[in-house]
Chains A and B, each alone.
Chain A
Amino acid sequence: KQEVTQIPAALSVPEGENLVLNCSFTDSAIYNLQWFRQDPGKGLTSLLLIQSSQREQTSGRLNASLDKSSGRSTLYIAASQPGDSATYLCAVITDYKLSFGAGTTVTVRA
């Protein structure tokens, strides 16, 4: 069974600092890895999708890396802003379904 772990569970940083969010998974036979953002009481918004053959993916201030052999992905958010405060979830796609980590709750202090 695929196990997905996200560390840390919570993170508080001052505005302008770079964020580093970690995701690890136990079964390296994945198709893709996807990062989501979830605001309180809301649904999940897709941020980045990394295919298993890719090493990284970038969108604006967001950069996600993937090391499939070691079962790790990292989401970097540059120059954080208060609007980046949310819970960030990673999900790995194997056997036709997504397996989620518990998320990292980020607070960016103004």
Chain B
Amino acid sequence: NAGVTQTPKFRVLKTGQSMTLLCAQDMNHEYMYWYRQDPGMGLRLIHYSVGEGTTAKGEVPDGYNVSRLKKQNFLLGLESAAPSQTSVYFCASSRGATLNTEAFFGQGTRLTVV
């Protein structure tokens, strides 16, 4: 089973460039999340979605946009990349947020903005 797949795995951007990170899950999960992981700061929530067509802001949403046009996909966009967005990005999905929900993570996207 593929689980949660992130594309691409590595990317180098120049300041001001834009890009889209793709997250795909094959578990028919309702909830999807985008996190960033930085040394000494742990994982911080950027945006999340509780179902197809919905999105919501997390702790650190500035500079990012998201879309959930299809249930299985959650896209994270950087409109104008900045060096502060250099990080490892993780996508996750879960069935829900109440009982017996287990979150599954992708392998991450390592993004460097120069």
Q: Which residues from chain A sit less than 8 Å from chain B, CB to CB?
A: 31-32, 34, 36, 42-46, 49, 51, 89, 91, 93, 95-103
8 closest A-B pairs (Cβ-Cβ)? Answer: A44-B105, A43-B107, A96-B97, A102-B42, A100-B43, A49-B102, A43-B105, A100-B42
Residues of A within 8 A of B97 (CB): 31, 93, 95-97
Interface membership of B76, Cβ < 8 A? no
Q: Which residues from chain B sit less than 8 Å from chain A, CB to CB?
A: 31, 33, 35, 40-43, 45, 48, 50, 56, 58, 90, 92, 97-108
| CB of A18, distance to nearest CB on chain B (Å) | 25
Query: Please, which residue of chain B has its CB at the minimum distance from the CB of A49?
Result: B102
Query: Please, which residue of chain A has its CB at the minimum distance from the CB of B101?
Result: A32
Q: How far is the CA of A44 from the CA of B41 in the complex (A)?
A: 16
Could you tell me if B100 and A46 are in contact, using CB atoms closer than 8 angstroms?
no
With A31-B98, A31-B99 known as contacts, the answer to whether A98 contacts B107 (CB < 8 A) is: no
**Total number of A-B contacts with CB less than 8 angstroms?**
62
Q: Taking A31-B97, A32-B101, A91-B103 as given, write out 5 further A-B residue pairs in contact, using a Cβ cutoff of 8 Å, ordered by the A residue number.
A: A93-B101, A96-B50, A98-B103, A100-B43, A102-B40
Residues of A within 8 A of B41 (CB): 102
Residues of B within 8 A of A44 (CB): 90, 92, 105
Of B43, B99, B101, most A-chain CB atoms within 10 Å: B43
Residues of A within 8 A of B92 (CB): 44, 98
Could you tell me if B103 and A51 are in contact, using CB atoms closer than 8 angstroms?
no
Could you tell me if A31 and B101 are in contact, using CB atoms closer than 8 angstroms?
yes
| CB of A33, distance to nearest CB on chain B (Å) | 11
Partner of B102, one of A46, A95, A97: A46
Q: How far is the CA of A31 from the CA of B96 in the complex (A)?
A: 10
